[in-house]
Amino acid sequence: MFIELDLQSETPIYAQLVDQIVEGIASGALQPGDPLPSVRSLGEDLGINLHTVNKSYNLLKQEGFLQVHRKKGVIVQPDGMPGVTDAFEEKLRRQLRSLAAEAAVRGMTEAAFTQMSTSLYRDTITNRGGEQR
């Protein structure tokens, strides 16, 4: 597994898990249709409570990133990922604004900020072979 959790972090474990799975999909490490470990086995692997894993899976299902199949178990959404919803754009705006403001106050230039955003975007999709829409 490519998942790393920081138990000292302020961000809840379930949220870290959600993030890492999304990053896994973005990078191509997880392809549409790919199966995910069962709640129980992943919980064991990571040394965390299975309720926590469950919470992450449920959130990702609600968002449309995962599907829960009665037979195949939990798999990565095979029928196309959800697009840019209003809710997401709103969240993106809010967080970017906050980060940009602090960056500006700390003297980070626009160029540096933009550069960082771009390079982090690129990093996340490294393994996808550029089949970017």
Q: What are the residues binding DNA (CB under 7 A)?
A: 7, 10, 12-15, 38-41, 48-49, 51-52, 54-55, 57-58, 68, 70-71, 73-74
The partner in contact with residue 95, picked from its own copies, DNA, none with C-beta cut-offs of 5 to 8 angstroms by kind, is its own copies
The CA distances from residue 59 to 52, 53, 68, 102, in Å, are: 11, 10, 12, 29
* Burial readout 43-67 (b: 16 or more C-beta within 10 A, e: otherwise): beebebeeebbebbbebbeebebbb
Residue 129 touching its own copies (CB under 8 A)? no
Encoded one letter per residue, x for contact with its own copies by CB under 8 A and - for no contact, window 7-36 reads xxx--xx-----x--xx-xxx---------
Q: Give the one residue of 31, 41, 118, 127 binding its own copies; rule: CB under 8 A.
A: 118
Cα gap 54→109, rounded to integer Å = 41
